Amino acid sequence: MARDYKEVAQSWLDGDFDPQTKCQILELRNNDPAGFEDAFYRNLEFGTGGLRGIMGVGTNRMNRYTVGMATQGLANYMKARLEGPLSVCISYDSRNNSKEFARITADVLSANGIHVYLWDNIRPIPLLSYSVRSKGANAGVMITASHNPKEYNGYKVFWSDGAQITSPVDKEIVAEVAKITDPSQVRFEPKEDCGGIELMGHEMDDKYFKDVLGLMLSPEARAKHSDLKIVYTPIHGSGVRIVPEALDRLGFKNVYHVPEQDISDGNFPTVMSPNPEEASALKMAIEVADREGADIVLATDPDADRVGIAVRDNEGKMVLFNGNQTGSMLTYYILRRWKELGKLDSTKYVVKTIVTTELIAQIAKSFGVKCYNVLTGFKYIAEVVKRNEGKGEFICGGEESYGFNVGEYVRDKDAPISCCMVAECAAWAAEQGLTLYQLLQKIYEEYGYRKEGLVSLVRKGKTGAEEIQQIMADMRTNAPADLAGSKVVKVVDYLDPEATGLPKSNVLQFFSEVGDVVTVRPSGTEPKIKFYFGAAGTEADEKIARLKEQFVK
């Protein structure tokens, strides 16, 4: 049955909500009918990473009440399903209201008798994941909306393995959250006999650095090329201290900053979007690199789980690597060094997502290493790691959306270790007489050239969500006969878990005779439908352009 958003809004006006919230609801109702409907027509839902939405009043917005209700649902779930003293780690990034939402989360959990380990200041997602495992906590919460625009914030729930929640836990938590229909059901104020709130700080940072930096592979190359010039920008986010300190601990002496972007500011004043996938987000860092004659640019998003890089081409111009290229290069480097160090055997493996380049699978195969293919979202990579504990060792893994991780200490994307690996890879490549750009070309020469592309169609609000679902329905009914002129020979619908061997997901893939692939999926966290294109061979660039014209009208 369709939800009457006006009745839901009226329940907020009549309910136990603060006067400021009620005034904002009335203003929205009187002056912005479309925004009023969008704010109340549904509840925020857990997608691939948890809650994420525009900040403001309403059930479909991030605010103190939706955060409190989600936390009460989480607390109820934990108390009903878990035994013994319970604990949760909480972190937050530099977004507007992140600190406030983190404190509300801590207070509600504490009021429910759950001990809280709260980071003393902004910290990246990888440190939240690491702290959950280090503290032996039952769960973790990260307040962030990743690389979304400044209007957004979010609430990511992690489980005891340090990974984001997956089915059935996510659905069970959502069911508990749905039972919380009024703020009067939320315990916002801790009492003296409730669970405590304990701050975490530099001591936990040091543990993280010790473990994660212990995964590095080429100390001699780092020492010899410690003068590499590196520009780093956190794009106003939580990597501002962690990444430079990690690079310093590895011995890199020439790390340049972008002072304007070292300011932790949730308005992200120097960029249109704090997303390292977008060239404009790296513009200021590249200007610093050109001024200082730097070799590499590294940029991380607000919660410092993704990294974008730029390197110098053969003409000395800064060029951007996409997530597939960075992931392929790092996978090659890490496997090459593991082989040289005698660390490879049949129990070692890498993981990638279904929309990530097949080049990673080719590289793994050439080194005799198994490559798992999983659904989009790093939590599915973490599921493989958890499933293989005691049976195999995770080397590294990544996804095309600029996320990569190394080792098992962190169970999510880890931009600090990725930045360190890029820098070390550059030092190792320099020992071979290569730049990072030349190393990537060498990989293409060995494995064959591949090109990937991505187009995201943004469709906001209720009508946008309906349009996205109609696009998926139409593609299921009328699958394309060819991809850029090559016959489609296989269609994979991930709504059928028996056919794919993976959890049910609203994703379609089309494969052509010549090995090109197109994947279509709605985003789980943003109002978008995404088209992923992959092509192989010398004509790959031209084929990607044709595929974009074919699918995106």
For 207-255, how does the pLDDT look when each residue is reduced to its tens digit (9 = 90+)? 999 999 999 999 999 999 999 999 999 999 999 999 999 999 999 999 9
The reported pLDDT for the residue numbered 330 is 98
Indicate which residue of 91, 94, 146, 418 is catalytic: 146
Q: Which numeric CATH code is attached to 208-447? A: 3.40.120.10
The CATH number of 42-200 is which of 3.40.120.10, 3.30.465.10, 3.20.20.70, 1.10.10.2840?
Answer: 3.40.120.10
Q: Among this protein's residues, is 146 annotated catalytic?
A: yes
Question: In this structure, what token pair is assigned to residue 210?
Answer: 């010790």
pLDDT in tens, 269-302: 999 999 999 999 999 999 999 999 999 999 999 9
178-205 pLDDT, tens digit per residue, is 888 788 899 999 877 788 999 999 999 9
Q: Which residues of 265-282 are buried (b: 16+ CB within 10 A; e: fewer)?
A: bbebebbebbbbbbeebb
Checking if the pLDDT of 23 tops 50, the result is yes
- Predicted confidence at residue 1, as pLDDT, reads 42
* Tokens 């730097």 sit on residue: 294
pLDDT in tens, 347-390: 999 999 999 999 999 999 999 999 999 999 899 999 999 999 99
Rounded Cα distance between 310 and 297, Å, is 5
3-state secondary structure of 352: strand
Class (C level, CATH) for 450-551: alpha beta
Do residues 295 and 124 make contact, with C-beta atoms less than 8 angstroms apart?
A: no
* pLDDT at residue 525 tops 90: no
Report CA-CA distances (Å) from 229 to 210, 257, 285, 293.
24, 11, 12, 7
Sheet of 348-353, strands arranged across: 370-374, 348-353, 393-399, 403-406
Query: Any idea where the domains of the chain sit in the sequence?
Result: 42-200, 208-447, 450-551
Same fold, 42-200 and 208-447: yes
pLDDT per position as a tens digit, 110-160:
999 999 999 999 999 999 999 999 999 999 999 999 988 999 999 999 999
d(CA 36, CA 38): 6
- Range with the poorest average pLDDT among 8-17, 222-231, 262-271: 8-17
* Tokens (6 digits) for 360: 């990673």
pTM: 0.94
Query: Counting Cβ atoms within 10 Å, is residue 331 exposed (0-12), middle (13-18) or buried (19+)?
Result: buried
pLDDT for the residue 437: 98
Q: Is the pLDDT of residue 49 over 70?
A: no
Q: Are 477 and 346 in contact (CB under 8 A)?
A: no
Residue 236 φ/ψ, nearest 5 degrees:
70, 15
pLDDT score recorded for residue 46: 59
Question: How would you write 359-406 as a 3-class SS string?
Answer: HHHHHHHHCCCEEEEECCCHHHHHHHHHHCCCCCEEEEEEECCCEEEE
SS (H, E, C) 17-44: CCHHHHHHHHHHHHHCHHHHHHHHCCCC
CA-angle at 343, arms to 337 and 345, nearest 5° = 120
Q: Which two tokens stand for residue 414?
A: 């880890």
Closest CA to 180 of 71, 89, 338: 71
